Amino acid sequence: MGYIEEYIARRMERYIPKTKNMTTLKCSTLQPFNSDIKQLIDKKHRAWTHFMETRKPSIMQEYNRLHNQVRSEARKIRKLKQESVANQVKSNPKHFWKYIKSRTSTSMSVGELKTMDATGREVRCIEDADKANLLADFYFSIYTEKIDEGPSVSNKIYNECEDITLTTQLVATKLSQLNTSKSPGPDLIHPRVLYEVRDAIAYPLKLLFERSLEIGQLPADWKYSTITAIYKKGPKSDVGNYRPVSLTSVICKVLESIIRDRSMTHLLKNELLSSKQHGFIKGRSTALQLLNMLDNWTEALEIGGQIDTIYSKNDHWCTNRHMSTQSPLNTQSPHLRPPNTLSHIECTYQVKTSVCID
């Protein structure tokens, strides 16, 4: 993997042009004013200068007229801009969130963090390095090594899961389905680059994927992930109010997608998943699960039945914080028989992470 990554990085450096980051400029320099509005703004400035020299009420009236006209035209441009962003919300969601961020005064970066030392005294973390270490310790502490044996299945005889057969066309298809607006992983290989050169790198990646599955190991570069802390809500000084977002290698995600498709095909074909399972199965969204639950409640009320509910306000903490560092697969299960695939999936849980502070 090191050679392929180095080869792509060299070609990116040589052939992909770099542009200046326009987001660092002031918003006033990026307004899409046409020549007519610019002339109005110049007239308004000249009228104000003339008024300051003469102090004539008639010139002040002319200045107010020009001022109102410029403001009206600027509002029209802003409205057109917002309509354009709204129309592209599905095709270009990054453009939408970029506009929302530009109109938000609240900073989403990691602020000053507070923690307690061994003696119980409050410690403030101001430097980025201290913030990163504190967040890394917190995210590591909320992991659990509890091994879930998974749901039980019946003693019905199922077909064994066959080894994954890779083809160049399959890899090229997965590369063509990449979302080019996503961020790159620690290897800095952008999805847009992989998408544009998909026909040229499909075969080398196929050989790499086959070797990885054959020996049941991941390349070292795929085991690294970069964690960015995203502010959620509440006091910014509390590390628990930052949600970790992990960025991993895009190439590794392509292989994971292939394994996932084959595993889901086997599980659905042999009816190994419960009908109550929702969330990651096509046609069974979490919204559909809520509708089914609502139908059950409605039916119970119509027949005079009883509905008991248990509410816990801390459930979301359990969902967000407890992330297993062990593979959830039962390696003794006969339903995922290929040992190379199991070893490969087990290897994906042995990752090294680093926390970045923007």
Query: How high is the mean pLDDT in each 10-residue block of the chain (358 residues)?
Result: 78 82 48 79 92 91 93 89 87 83 72 82 85 85 63 61 85 93 87 92 92 85 85 85 88 91 84 79 85 88 82 44 43 50 63 64
Residue whose token pair is 């979302």: 179
Return the pLDDT at 315. 42
- pLDDT at residue 203, rounded to an integer: 93
pLDDT of residue 328: 45
Predicted pLDDT at 195 = 94
The pLDDT score that the predictor gives to residue 120 is: 81
Contacting residues for 158 by C-beta, under 8 A, at least 6 apart: 270, 272, 334, 335
pLDDT at residue 198 in the model: 92
pTM check: above 0.75: no
Domain segments of the chain: what residues? 32-102, 129-149+160-304+313-356
Query: What's residue 49's pLDDT?
Result: 93
Residue 235, pLDDT score: 86
Q: Do residues 251 and 222 touch, judged by C-beta distance below 8 A?
A: yes
List Cβ<8 Å contacts ≥24 apart for 129-133. 131/357, 132/354, 132/355, 132/356, 132/357, 133/355
